[in-house]
Amino acid sequence: CHPCAATRVPMGPLSLLLALSLLAPRGSAGGSCPPRCVCASNLLSCSQANLSAVPAPLPRFTAVLDLSHNNVTRLRADWAPARLPHLHALLLSHNGLAFVSTEAFTHVPRLRHLDLSSNRLRTLDENLFSDLGELEVLLLYNNEITTVDRTAFENLGRLRKLYLGQNRIARFPLELLREGTRLPQLALLDLSANRLRAVPAGELQALPAWLRDRLYLHNNPLACDCLLFQLLDRGHRRHLSAVEDFQDELRCVLPGAPAPIKILALAGQQPLNCSKAREAVLEAHLGDSVTLGCDSRWQGVRSRHWVTPGGERVLGDGGNGSVVLLANGSLQLQALRPEDAGTYACWVAGPLLNETLYVELLVHNFTLHGPHDTLNTAYTTLVGCILSVVLVLIYLYLTPCRCCCCRGTEKPPAPRDDSINSSVLSTTPNHAGGTGEPCGSHIASNAGTGQNGRFKGGGTPPLPARQGPKVQRKVSDPDSVSSVFSDTPIVV
């Protein structure tokens, strides 16, 4: 018995019927029961009968045939020479079975339960089970399977559970799940305890949650990868059984690591340093149309409804034109507006429990192909710095003349005998410029007035103007001495 719960097959009703058959008298079916078998109504139990071949003839009314724990190593096409239209359960576990003919199930088209576990099967050939159009449960765990042909499960439109754990499978055609047409009803896939080194985590994330809830990948030598971590981390937060029940067995291999490590422990751990992915976060732009999926774990959902960020309830009878509830339970939003952003809740009434899913919608405040309404912060900071430097340079080198009436004129030189009271530390000396009248010369020409229009009580009278190329220098005025602390420069 496999210790993992994923490989335990619920056989309660079938086991009870088989137990009752052991209590039935031998030959209760009117003398048509094969030797060393026990028959009870339409049940035929030949378990642990040391058989090397399927007994013949088999009663036509047989519905359950138990051949487990025998030595039937080959299942040929003629094991059932006549059609068994009522057979729906065939048990062949623990037989050392190494060969199964591609025509072995031609005469049992109504088979719904097939147990080939704990045998020695190595390959699943092309169209091996294609005659079993009504098969629902297929047990192939604890074999030696290394190769799985992608057409081996062709025409299994009703298959719900496929157990392939404890084999030697290095690659499984997971495209059978992705397409959704090969195995449309599949709700459980057990690939645990195999030799899988890589799985398409991105494609598996796109599978519906009710299938990921029963996709068992534990006890495989998977290579550590952040996409794989995010796939399982989402499953852990959603409480998916395949992750919750076997999180200690979900391990991966890091190059150079002495032993496999837990996949769920890869968050922030070197060298991958994987980050946790946010689940169900959609981004869109103004005017876009988006569809919010309600990815429930329950396959048989009775009812569901959505609640918008504003608290408005969207029922199954349609929407208000811009918000529409689709037939598959998804919510479609058209012509997005900024107020459409927020967290949407999907309430699901499942067959056993209820479930609430949350989808966060981010609406960017610009159209996908139009200009942005907001500038990037780093860009605006850079532009601001450049403008500041340009303004400083303009202030330093292109400052205009402060004297409105001096533009185009030169200040005449000061008189030859400058006042001894002029400060040697003055930062505004009089410079020789050229010819021309100084600013306000009509005031300076008054006899009793000095510079700045002040009356000079005692001072040296001005010298007559010199003739020649040199310009007259002013006599310094002791009352107009430039202060060494003056902060107003004289601009010429």
Inform me whether the pLDDT recorded for 198 exceeds 50.
yes
> What is the pTM assigned to this prediction?
0.61
* Mean pLDDT comparison of 99-108, 321-330, 383-392, highest-scoring range: 99-108
The Cα–Cα gap between 304 and 350 comes to 9
- State whether CATH 2.60.40.10 applies to domain 282-364: yes
C-alpha 55/C-alpha 62 separation (Å) is: 13
Using the predicted structure, report yes or no on whether residue 99 has a pLDDT greater than 60. yes
Q: How far apart are CA 114 and CA 104, in angstroms?
A: 12
400 or 438: which carries more pLDDT confidence? 400
Quote the strand ranges of 308-443, DSSP E.
Answer: 313-314, 323-325, 331-333, 342-349, 354-364
Whole-Å CA distances, 350 to 116, 188, 218: 32, 17, 27
Domain ranges of the chain: 282-364
Which amino acid makes up residue 166? Q
* Of the candidate ranges 78-82, 175-179, 458-462, the one whose mean pLDDT is the lowest: 458-462
SS3 content of the chain, % helix, strand, coil (to 5): 15, 15, 65
> Sheet harboring 222-223: ordered strands across?
222-223, 251-253, 261-262
**What are the pLDDT digits (tens) for 246-258?**
999 999 998 888 8
Across 22-30, average pLDDT: 38
Name the more confident of 322 and 336.
Answer: 336
Q: What is the pLDDT of residue 29?
A: 37
- Within 13 Å and on the Cβ side, how many CA atoms surround 416? 7
346-357: pLDDT as tens digits: 878 777 667 777
Mean pLDDT computed over 11-33? 45
Render pLDDT for 377-436 as a digit per residue (tens, 0 to 9): 566 778 888 888 888 888 888 766 555 555 555 555 555 444 444 444 444 444 444 444
SS3 state of residue 184: coil
More confident position, 73 or 372:
73
Distance CA 36, CA 185 (A): 38
How is residue 72 written in tokens?
A: 């039937």
pLDDT at 399: 65
Beta carbons within 8 Å of 131's beta carbon, 6+ residues apart: 103, 105, 106, 108, 109, 155
Higher pLDDT, 455 or 100: 100
- Cα 89 to Cα 237: distance, rounded to the nearest angstrom: 38
pLDDT at 276 > cutoff 70: yes
How does DSSP classify residue 455? Answer: B
Please report which confidence band the pLDDT of residue 311 belongs to, taking 50, 70 and 90 as the band edges: confident
Give yes or no for residue 13 having a pLDDT over 70.
no
Share of the chain above pLDDT 90, in %: 32
Average the pLDDT over 284-297 and give the result. Answer: 82
Residue among 64, 25, 28, 61 nearest 47 (CA): 64
